[in-house]
Structure 1
Amino acid sequence: MIKNGQYLIQLFKTNVQNCHVLVIGDVMLDKYYFGEMKRISPEAPVPIVNKKDEMTTLGGAANVANNLVQLGCKVSLVGAVGNDQGGNEFFDLLKLQGIDSSGIIIDDRCTTIKTRVMSGNQQVLRIDHEVKMNISDLAIKHLESWLVQKLKKDHITSIIISDYEKGFCRKEICQKVITLANQLEIPIIIDPKGNKWDKYQNATVVTPNMTELSNILGAEIPNTNEVMYRYGPLLRKKYALDYLLVTRSGKGMSLIGEDEITHIFTLAKEVFDVSGAGDTVVSTLAAFLGIGARMDDAVNISNLAAGIVVGKVGTYAVQDDELLMQLEFLSENKNKLSSKVFFNEEYKQVISNWRREGKKIIFTNGCFDILHIGHATYLKKAKQLGDKLVIGLNSDHSVKRLKGPSRPIVNENDRAKMLTFFEFVDAVIIFNEDTPLNLISEIRPDILVKGGDYKAKEVVGREFASKTEIISFVDGYSTSDIIDKISN
């Protein structure tokens, strides 16, 4: 649960249009080649990926900027690219996203490009095109002048330094920015790299992951709460930080402040790709600190955003409505069973979001009283027909009318929550009618799925679906048989 959920939603909606974040750091392009890996090359013992599609996105500090744009913030980006094709692509993407590029320097270097080869959801190879080199003293002077003028002219609400150790985030730049930010009382967030944290001295918050924490401590350390208590306060004090926020992968985050250490559990349901998750944390943190949220609230929302991102493939920027929807679900005022379970008309926004993303929606329905292998097999086959599997679940009253006064054995809340434990189930909607006709007419699924010996023309709601599919049940499994065996 996230405390103050409704307040934070209102704070965001009211103030995000006034949020202007300055992002400074190592910018790059992320390229993705998507394909299938089905055989080994006859030339060498290496896999062959048959490329089907490709994608180019903003990476590094530019991905942080893109995350902020998707949250609704105004963004100015500072970094360096080369005078090459990659640089041209980079400026085109900035323009497309509406990111202020006046702080981008064309330097004597190549534009950093990370190319990832993907087979399904699995990354099989990464190719880096880069040269690690410090920007020139002349470029630093130019940037310092630009920064002073920018901070005078524009109302900057927060600043991020996104350091990928490619040579842009020199100590002179970092300390100049931190000093200016502190003078103007602007929160400054650091995504660190390397073991030279002197350049981050006096920042509002530094956000290392466990690898980065090990680097600054000079030894590999275990991912335990004990480590946070032992080293966190020492590092925070040594570098005069207001906060240290350690991102701990599957164990969530730990926020180390002056008087308290808080552990925040991860909210990720399924991890496909961790690319860009750290960028999501710092961008969400900067957005909410910039609109006046407390540090602990901003950290909790950043954790929520990171949980969304790692469930996607590739560098992904969380949308503002997507984040607010999840925040609404997890708000302590909602009393939700699960973020996948919907009552009444809550599901409409979710369906609308999926439609906008071009997802193929599958719908099926049932009582699912006492789950068994037949149910699981049927639902998994249904999910394979598209992208998002939606289950219409008969309420307790509906089941009684259909099955008799002794049913259901398991109440609707428990039945719904158990269905959400299947990773291939994306939404469960509880309905009270005898049939899901009204629900299907609202959702209008791409594929309507029914099990058993039905014929497609007999399926309720088929006129509201683009296609109807019949999936056979697994022989020998039924809830009624299980109940009979227990009774006898």
Structure 2
Amino acid sequence: MEHPSAVRNDRKGIIHMSGWRELYKKTVMREFAHKKALIIGDLMVDEYITGMVCRISPEAPVPILDFEERRLEAGGASNVAHNIRCLGAETAVAGTAAEDEMGNWLRNHFQEMGIATQGMIAEVGRTTTVKTRYATKGQQLLRIDNEDDREIADSTKEKIYGYLVKMISTLDLVVLSDYKKGVLNDAGFVQRIIKLCRKYHVLISIDSKSRNISAFENADFVKPNNQELAEAVGIRIEDDKALNLAGKKYLEESGARALVVTRGSKGISVFTASGGRKDYTAKDVQVYDVCGAGDTVISAISLALVSGLAIADAVKLANLAAGVVITRIGTVAVTPEELVRSIDEE
């Protein structure tokens, strides 16, 4: 298998391909644990109701789910925090969560994981975002979204920004996770965050569903998926030519330093102003659930970059991490030990 780069360990800087595994494993097992990250964005809870379907309701042509289990998991920006923490980095979150059942569960969950929650704001009149999925034997039957996607109040923005100001000198990276649920709707607010990160030389990465991409100027990289890229620039992506046009347009209009596009089974494409487009193949695994895979990708790339890896190596590592989580059901995270095993299997 071809790898993007490896260890440079002679005087001429010649790349020695035999060292890439050790480089990746050292980064994962040693460097990640020394990094500190703040995730700002739309904090969510993913609720799973599972059971067995044996008959159709006599009341309507719908299946009857015989309840077996209710499970709660971190979703949205919460899942990015979960991923980064599981990879070993010191982690904090900022966003909104009500003081309701789900919001309190999320706070407790973070505290149990050692994730700082002082940046979680309970805005008056705003509920905690919850996505409830009903499923049987891994097959989703129905999803119910309970959310408030209005832009957060100015006072809430100031509290979040104030928390960032307090933390900034201690941070290695900031991730903006925008699911269009209100926290990062304001382009001016996003730009303030980016400018502060640039001032303190803190890596800033963005995963956003927003079409207001001009707000991402000077971000280290932005990570939309294929559909989000197409919607943001108004180009239907049906072939490589369209992908190149869309990627170039997104990079120019956003002003970001790099564009990382997750493309499902086709892997990841990276666009830079100087290097054009480069593709990285996804790991060939049995896919059970792609939910949350994008969160894993931005978490792994961000940590790898601040740990000293080049973008090509960071993306390769992220592909391996995503290859672990998509073999499981639900929004899950990969551990350093699991990622190292995936590296050894290559």
Give the TM-score, by structure 2 length: 0.91
1:140 aligns with 2:157: yes
Tell me the equivalent position of 2:138.
Answer: 121
The equivalent position to 1:214 in structure 2, one of 208, 221, 230, is: 230
- Residue aligned with 2:97, SS: strand
Instruction: Tell me the amino acid that sits aligned with residue 324 of structure 1.
Output: V
Q: What aligned pairs does 1:46-445 form with structure 2 within 5 A after superposition?
A: 46-108=62-124, 109-152=126-169, 154=170, 156-169=171-184, 170-222=186-238, 224-260=239-275, 261-330=277-346
Deviation string 1:243-272 (CA, Å, 9 cap, x unpaired) is: 111111111110111222111111141111
Query: What do you get for the CA RMSD once the two structures are aligned?
Result: 1.4
Measure the CA separation in 1 of the matches of 2:173 and 2:286: 31
Task: Report if the CA contact (8 A) 2:44-2:130 is conserved.
Answer: yes
1:64 Cα deviation from its structure 2 partner: 0.5
Measure the CA separation in 1 of the matches of 2:112 and 2:342: 27
Measure the CA separation in 2 of the matches of 1:305 and 1:268: 12
Measure the CA separation in 1 of the matches of 2:188 and 2:255: 17
Instruction: Tell me the amino acid that sits aligned with residue 83 of structure 2.
Output: N
- Residue aligned with 1:33, SS: strand
- Residue aligned with 1:221, SS: coil
Instruction: Tell me the amino acid that sits aligned with residue 102 of structure 1.
Output: Q
Measure the CA separation in 2 of the matches of 1:14 and 1:275: 28
Task: Report if the CA contact (8 A) 1:82-1:110 is conserved.
Answer: yes
Instruction: Tell me the amino acid that sits aligned with residue 130 of structure 2.
Output: I
Instruction: Tell me the amino acid that sits aligned with residue 225 of structure 1.
Output: D
1:14 Cα deviation from its structure 2 partner: 2.4
Task: Report if the CA contact (8 A) 2:97-2:127 is conserved.
Answer: yes
1:219 Cα deviation from its structure 2 partner: 4.5
- Residue aligned with 2:322, SS: helix
Task: Report if the CA contact (8 A) 1:268-1:310 is conserved.
Answer: no
Q: 1:134 to 1:197 in 2, by over 3 A?
A: same
1:115 Cα deviation from its structure 2 partner: 0.6
- Which of 1 and 2 has higher RCO (CA within 8 Å, sep 6+)? 2
Worse overlay, 61-70 or 211-220: 211-220
Deviation string 1:406-440 (CA, Å, 9 cap, x unpaired) is: xxxxxxxxxxxxxxxxxxxxxxxxxxxxxxxxxxx
1:283 Cα deviation from its structure 2 partner: 0.8
Measure the CA separation in 1 of the matches of 2:215 and 2:123: 22
Tell me the equivalent position of 1:382.
Answer: none
Measure the CA separation in 2 of the matches of 1:139 and 1:30: 23
Unaligned ranges ≥5, structure 1: 331-488
Measure the CA separation in 1 of the matches of 2:241 and 2:327: 28
Q: 1:275 to 1:294 in 2, by over 3 A?
A: same
Task: Report if the CA contact (8 A) 1:6-1:328 is conserved.
Answer: no
Measure the CA separation in 2 of the matches of 1:22 and 1:302: 19
Measure the CA separation in 2 of the matches of 1:38 and 1:297: 48
Q: 1:266 to 1:310 in 2, by over 3 A?
A: same
Instruction: Tell me the amino acid that sits aligned with residue 87 of structure 1.
Output: G
Runs of 4+ in 1 over 4 A off after TM superposition: none
1:44 Cα deviation from its structure 2 partner: 0.2
Measure the CA separation in 2 of the matches of 1:265 and 1:129: 36
Q: 1:204 to 1:54 in 2, by over 3 A?
A: same
Measure the CA separation in 2 of the matches of 1:10 and 1:132: 41
- Residue aligned with 1:107, SS: coil
Instruction: Tell me the amino acid that sits aligned with residue 217 of structure 2.
Output: Q
Instruction: Tell me the amino acid that sits aligned with residue 237 of structure 2.
Output: I
Deviation string 1:283-327 (CA, Å, 9 cap, x unpaired) is: 111111121211111111111111211111011111110011111
Percent same amino acid among aligned pairs?
33
- Residue aligned with 1:59, SS: strand
- Residue aligned with 1:280, SS: helix
Tell me the equivalent position of 1:341.
Answer: none
Instruction: Tell me the amino acid that sits aligned with residue 312 of structure 1.
Output: R
Q: 1:116 to 1:172 in 2, by over 3 A?
A: same
- Residue aligned with 1:235, SS: helix
Give the TM-score, by structure 1 length: 0.65
